[in-house]
Structure 1
Amino acid sequence: MILKSGGIAAAMAVAFFSVSSLPTMAQDEGAAACGTDRTIDIAEMTWPSAAALAHIHAKILEAGFGCDVAIVTGDTVPTTSSMVTRGSPAVAPELWTSTVQDQWDAALAEGSVVALGGAITDGTIEGWFIPRYTQEAHPEIVSAETAIANPSVFPDPEDSSKGRIYSCPPGWGCELATTALFDAYDMSGAWNLFSPGSGGALDASIARAFTREEPILFYYWGPTAILGKFDAVALDMGETLPEVYACNTDPDCNEPAGVTAYPSSPAIVGAAAWLQEEAPVIAEYFTKVGLTNAEISELLVYGDENQADAAATAENFLKTKEDLWSGWVSPEVAEKVRASIS
């Protein structure tokens, strides 16, 4: 077919318009699916579970919903303050509110933030643990008290006349709580409280004991790769007494140390209020993304065993745990995510 010069110019104009408008149209479609053309910045906290969750959600929002996503460095206190005052980051996928409770409650009341759901559906874990094989050999040891009554089951390698309990690393808040419980249980006569020196040293001590199938009594918390990798049993520590725990963890508290279980800190998906207003589909997505302690600990094992960073750990989760994350989204969104990682 032969076109007149005017027709050629018109055809070229149409072609140019079609090609040049494609990125804008794609962006508009993405914004429509996402609900907002604003960047959704997600806080990558400094601990492994929260970091992995940040990358999991970033991938799903970007590939599945077409959102403009950014991952930003975060930590509990500064992230909360910035979210409250600036509306950024938009999402904190594992926010432990107990350490910022007053500020968080005030922000909820004034409407600058929202709690979209539980990040860890069965709550965080903190306490004293023993290997399951040790409990099977000594079925009477089911609580802190029964463990304390059997120091010979957990002999100190450097002083076999006493038992050894592995404490929380020095400088951490849990070190104060564990030391206070050691005093409250009056353990010094038959036990040694061992400081591991660092989190890595504590992990190494636990791994060595499990590998050799040796008994060990240790402080730990979850969700973590250690609890995902090794079959550890949490000992019954009785009732949680908030006032006693507060005193046990306060260096300036003059009261004698008391016996209390460690509290289970709520871990939520916290978000700036604008996200719910501008992108209700994304806000709804975050109401469905809760995982159990065991599920999060399991996903962290991959990163620990393969020395993988948070992004690689997240990608492995998306590839191997589709039965979990596909329930958070529609089949259409799931297919887009699946295509992006295949």
Structure 2
Amino acid sequence: MILKSGGVAAAIAVAFLSAGSLPAIAQEADAAQCGTDRTIDIAEMSWPSAAALAHIHATILEQGYGCDVEIVAGDTVPTSSSMMTRGTPAVAPELWTSAIEEPWAEAIAEGTVVELSDAITDGTVEGWFIPQYTQDANPELTTAEAVIARPDLFPDPEDNSQGRLYSCPPGWACELSTSALFEAFDMEETWNLFSPGSGGALDASIARAFTREEPILFYYWGPTAILGKYPAVQLDIGEADMDVYKCNTDPDCDEPAGVTAYPSSPAVIGAAAWIQEEAPAVAEYFTKVGLTNAQISELLVYGDENQADAEETAENFLETKQDVWTEWVPAEVAEKVLAAIG
């Protein structure tokens, strides 16, 4: 094909115009794939698992779906309140709703927020634990009652005539519920209820016992790095009775303490309703991203052992758990994320 000089100039101009418009075209394509050109702000909560999940989802949405993403600081009450009233942040990837049960239910009914899926697919964990090696040596120790009957197996280092139960850190709601259970089980005569002073001190006591392969009875919760790192067994305390539990966690409750298991707290992926309306592909993505306790605990072990922050922990997950997260997204989205993370 032979072009006249005017045709050549026109072709060159078209070429430059096309090249110059490529970024705009790419942005439009990304916005179309994401579904919205609004910024999707994701709450990075103050605890490690939720913080890491925020960075995991931010990377996938930004690199794979072409969304404009921003990570913002968050915590349960202020994040949910802002989401319910202002539609921002757009997503809370691990929202524990037990503390906001009534207003959250009302907001769902009003259509201002939605629950896209469970963040922790097998439920959160809270209770009393002993090491697996202790139970292996004493197979009968499967219930709280069985362990309570053997204080000699869990001697208090400062008074070996008594057993020791390591309680919840002071000031937390679980300190009240653990103290109430201690009383309800009538443990005062043969056991000491030990306050660790802080979450870090409790972790250090647990780590020391497991490192030395010593027996220990302790309160804990999950998903956490501790339960991911150390093979612990949760004791059977029976069924959860919400009326008893509410009294056990209320310092003003005059009723006597009763025995109840710690209820599993719902942890959901909460989102402003506009996400479902404007970015259905993003909303669908969040319906698939739930992880088990074990998976999240493993995620946290990396952060703990490597002193990694939330972003570094997320990067490690995306690099090492491709078999998990690539199942959440279409193949073309996975390819973009993989290319971005190298």
* TM-score, length-scaled by structure 1: 0.97
Within 1, Cα distance between the matches of 2:156 and 2:31?
61
| Whole-Å separation in 2 of the counterparts to 1:289 and 1:223 | 16
Quick one: distance in 1 between partners of 2:23 and 2:97?
A: 40
Q: Secondary structure at the match of 2:27?
A: helix
Identity %: 74
**Counterpart in 1 of 2:180?**
180
Q: Structure 1 residue 18: deviation in Å?
A: 2.8
Deviation at 1:11, TM superposition (A): 5.8
Q: Secondary structure at the match of 1:239?
A: coil
Q: 1 CA distance for matches of 2:227 and 2:325?
A: 21
TM-aligned CA deviation for residue 70 of structure 1: 0.6
Per-residue deviation, residues 259-317 of structure 1 (Å, max 9, x unmatched): 10000011111100000000101100100011110111011110000000011111111
1:21 match: secondary structure: helix
- 1:311 matched to 2:298: no
CA distance in 1, matches of 2:167, 2:241: 20
Task: Determine the C-alpha separation between the residues in 2 that align with 1:225 and 1:265.
Answer: 18
Q: Distance in 2 between matches of 1:169 and 1:12?
A: 71
**1: CA distance between counterparts of 2:32 and 2:65?**
9
Which residue pairs with 1:20 in the alignment? 20
Task: Give 1:19 deviation, angstroms.
Answer: 3.7
Give matches, 1:197-216, under 5 Å: 197-216=197-216
Paired letter, 2:315? E
**2:41 counterpart SS class:** strand
* Residue 154 of structure 1, CA deviation: 0.3
Amino acid at match of 1:243: D
Measured against aligned partners, the alpha-carbon deviations of 1:224-276 in whole angstroms (never above 9, x if no partner) come to: 00000000000001010001000100111111111100000111111000000
Inter-partner Cα distance in structure 1 for 2:131 and 2:240: 23
Is residue 115 from structure 1 mapped to residue 120 from structure 2 by the alignment?
A: no
Give the counterpart letter for 1:240 in structure 2: A
2:259 and 2:21 mapped to 1: Cα distance? 67
SS of 1:233's partner is: strand
Q: CA deviation at 1:3?
A: 7.8
1: CA distance between counterparts of 2:219 and 2:57? Answer: 31
Shift of 1:7: 6.8
Does the residue aligned with 2:38 lie in a helix, a strand or coil? coil
Return the alpha-carbon distance in structure 2 between the equivalents of residues 331 and 309 of structure 1: 29
Partner of 2:251, secondary structure, is coil
Alignment of 1:227-242 (within 5 A): 227-242=227-242
Q: Which ranges of structure 1 fall in alignment gaps of 5 or more residues? A: none
- CA positional deviation for 1:176: 0.6
How far apart, in 2, do the equivalents of 1:305 and 1:339 lie?
27
Write the letter of the residue equivalent to 1:314.
A
Moved more, 88-97 or 13-22: 13-22
SS at match of 2:262: coil
**DSSP 3-state at the match of 2:252:** coil
